[in-house]
Amino acid sequence: MSKPILEIKNLSAGVEGKQILKGVSLTIGEGEVHAVMGPNGSGKSTLAAVLAGRDGYDVTGGSVNYLGHDLLDLDPEERAREGLFLAFQYPVEIPGVNSTYFLKAALNEIRKHKCESELDAMEFLTLVKEKMKLMELKDDLLKRSVNEGFSGGEKKRAEIFQMAVLEPKLAILDETDSGLDIDALKVVSSGVNKLKTKHNAQLVITHYQRLLNYIVPDFVHVLVDGRIVKSGDKNLALELEAQGYDWILKHV
């Protein structure tokens, strides 16, 4: 088995006293793509939020090891600087803050953390141009304020573009397919596929199977009521698509 990046053991967590995750275990190794699927309210987005360190979630049990760190002990920005990236389901708008400026500040925080020299404006622009070609992105998005006035598709594309620039070790894609039409879905997925290497990993969270036609996972996990009830390869996703979540529930 490849070297693990993330090891989740028996993780329980909730919001305002309500238990949502009830003992999730999952190990993700280098070079792997994992998909977590599940019906609405099963705890998919909670899992993403807890891993990224969002406030307001109480971890009530279990542990998460990330590259040898106790992940739950790190602040959200420390997790990000250690290479954990969350592509948001609903990216927020930050009016007046230029996208390029924002991304440069983010990249330089990560570089500083790795004891690498910060990029100046020229070096950064060169990098951005290169990545833009890769992502087939129009450069006017970068001239605008962060996510301000972006369409749903533009927001998701901008998230993947940020991922391309920041080169995370572990990328968590939280329902990246929601609100995308089929063309946008193709562009976003092909971007994600291009960013896959032997050394990083992706955790794709989705409700529908259709995203997995474009981002092919090595492992599929089905999350129901805060527990992973079944794991398998990509065929599990197809089975789910054909038979629905009820089928899984009957077999648990």
CA distances from 215 to 11, 34, 47, 102, 187 (A): 26, 10, 20, 28, 11
Query: CB-wise, 204 or 212, nearer to other proteins?
Result: 204
Question: Would you say 82 and 74 are in contact if contact means Cβ atoms under 8 Å apart?
Answer: yes
Rounded-to-integer distance, Cα 120 and Cα 100, Å? 12
Number of residues that bind other proteins (CB under 8 A): 31
The footprint of other proteins on residues 46-65 (CB under 8 A) is 52-56
SS (H, E, C) 117-163: CCCCHHHHHHHHHHHHHHHCCCCHHHHCEECCCCCHHHHHHHHHHHH
The footprint of other proteins on residues 159-188 (CB under 8 A) is 162, 166
Sole binder of other proteins in the list 1, 92, 122, 242 (CB under 8 A)? 92
Binding of residue 245 to other proteins (CB under 8 A): no
Q: 93: which DSSP letter? A: P
- Which tokens hold the place of 26? 């999952």
Shortest distance (Å) from residue 156 CB to other proteins = 14
Which listed range, 84-92, 120-128, 149-157, 176-184, lies at the site for other proteins (CB under 8 A)? Answer: 84-92
Dihedral, CA of residue 66, residue 69, residue 72 and residue 74, to nearest 10:
-120
As a whole number of Å, the CA-based R_g of the chain is 18
Query: CB-wise, 88 or 219, nearer to other proteins?
Result: 88
Which listed range, 3-11, 18-26, 33-41, 72-80, lies at the site for other proteins (CB under 8 A)? Answer: 72-80
CB-count burial class (<10 Å; 0-12, 13-18, 19+) for 205 = buried
31 - beta bridge partners? none
Binding of residue 97 to other proteins (CB under 8 A): yes
Binding of residue 113 to other proteins (CB under 8 A): yes
Shortest distance (Å) from residue 232 CB to other proteins = 30
Shortest distance (Å) from residue 33 CB to other proteins = 21
**Residues listed for the chain:** 252
Nearest CA-CA partner of 212 in 49, 41, 36, 39: 36
Sole binder of other proteins in the list 11, 35, 88, 128 (CB under 8 A)? 88
Which listed range, 39-47, 92-100, 178-186, 199-207, lies at the site for other proteins (CB under 8 A)? Answer: 92-100
Q: What residue ranges bind other proteins (CB under 8 A)? A: 52-56, 75-77, 79-81, 85-86, 88, 91-92, 94-97, 102-103, 105-107, 109-110, 113, 145, 162, 166
